[in-house]
Structure 1
Amino acid sequence: MLLDKPERLIPFGVVLSLLYVLANNASEVAAFFASAVLLLMTGGIAYWTYCRAKRRAGRQRLEAQLIELIDRHENALVSYYHQCRRKDLFGNCDESRWHDCIDLFLKSQLVPDEADFRTWRQSAIGRWAAQVVAEATAEKVALYRTTNPLTRVDASSLTPLEYERHCADLLRVEGWKIQETPATRDGGADFVAEKEKVRLVVQCKRYSQPVGNKAVQEVTAAVRLYGGNVACVVAPTGFTKQAQQEATGLSVHLLHHSMLAAFAEKLAA
């Protein structure tokens, strides 16, 4: 069949020629292939090292960005941490709502597009970022409990009046002068804390549900009434979305009581 079509003999002849050369230069060919393999391995290792260093640098930049964002939004994160972690009847901690809050934080701060966020969140870097937020927030909560033992008090065991006094004590031990307001007709404030040039107007809400926007409006009015320059609402159960939106517009700070002392100290620094 090859003789019937002479053009097929050309590649066949080339192959035979190569086989003849390889057979007569086996040592040189082996050395060539060994050098080629070594070169490929060296190049592959160098490329792998470069990619690894690039990924590490990218992760370090993202970690620095995350820490900055966590510090900026620590009041909200700590509040969500306490509000959204609940124990079931068997004593198991249900953190599903807390994980949803972490996703909300990451989406709003890093990857706003819904489709892009879903893909990114399922990636290794997305899972790692969520872990960084969870661990950093837990560390902040633990630090506040260590530096101020009063934050360990179980707020659910306190009456509304006891809760107000507890919040005032959190600041009093840090050197703040506390001015209590009348038990009735308090004008939207439970007490005023003063230190340096800061007059912090505080309203405390010991509710079993998230606090609504009415408290935000009340403490805003109380700032003018008591000559304050900063206002906050403190609650153990978090705040509704409407309250959060209104607080942003009115520059009212919404806090979990475990954050109160640290927040106030930053104001007075």
Structure 2
Amino acid sequence: LLNTVRNALDRKQLVVENKILKKKVSKNYEMIGESEAINQIKVMIEKVAQTEARVLITGPNGTGKELVAHQLHEQSQRANYPLIEVNCAAIPSELIESELFGHVKGAFTSAVKDRAGKFEAADKGTIFLDEIGDMSLSAQAKVLRALQESMITRVGADKDIKVDVRVVAATNKDLKTEIAEGRFREDLYHRLAVILIKVPALNDRRDDIPMLISHFAEKIALEQGNARKEFSAEAIKLLQEYDWTGNIRELRNVVERLIILGGNEISENDVQLFASK
């Protein structure tokens, strides 16, 4: 009886810990902003997350496309299963198929043992194919088959493996142009783009900059174990007027630089000194 009670308590504790961890993960991928563009994206995520529809997220680099992917997963019925991220641009074209679909021992020189790929790892969960516009045509063909048949084949194998995966993809490229120039499959595009979510550039949502500065200032203070620094109204106004070509990623870097180099309160002068282009 004592063991039964202990086991029940352990399970309860595990559930509590999982909920706390999930809240921490959600906070890391929170979408900051209340501009019309961001509110529209939040509404779309709420509508789409509970479905199985595939989503293609577009927008410039540094705008937070991965945040949309995480929110889609966390608000879905697959949230208790893995979200597997693949940066298609970071993987050499000769390795992308092995990375996505796995391989069997001896399939190529360095294949010393069987290895599962990302699609298998994401079974019952979500796979996020970031920068899918950089994927080779041969890999695109295999991804298309995985979407059409819910089956994948490891490199060097002849046995099909059934997978249950929701695919979310993202790109900073204009895929219609890539299709016209023969670098992206039109049939794959139509499979992926059931729902299109366009993430705006930071220059198109300047009203969100004060909230983003506050968010980053708090986060950086926690990371560095320091007291949070405030930004003067003049400093914030000046930052709102900047041309943010690097989008939110650039803003975050500038906020960190100002916190490190600026005064106890970040002033307009600090911005002119340390945040100039």
TM-score range, shorter chain: under 0.3
| TM-score, structure 1 as length reference | 0.24
| TM-score, structure 2 as length reference | 0.24
**Structure showing greater Rg:** 1
User: RCO greater where, 1 or 2, for CA within 8 Å and sep 6 or more?
Assistant: 2
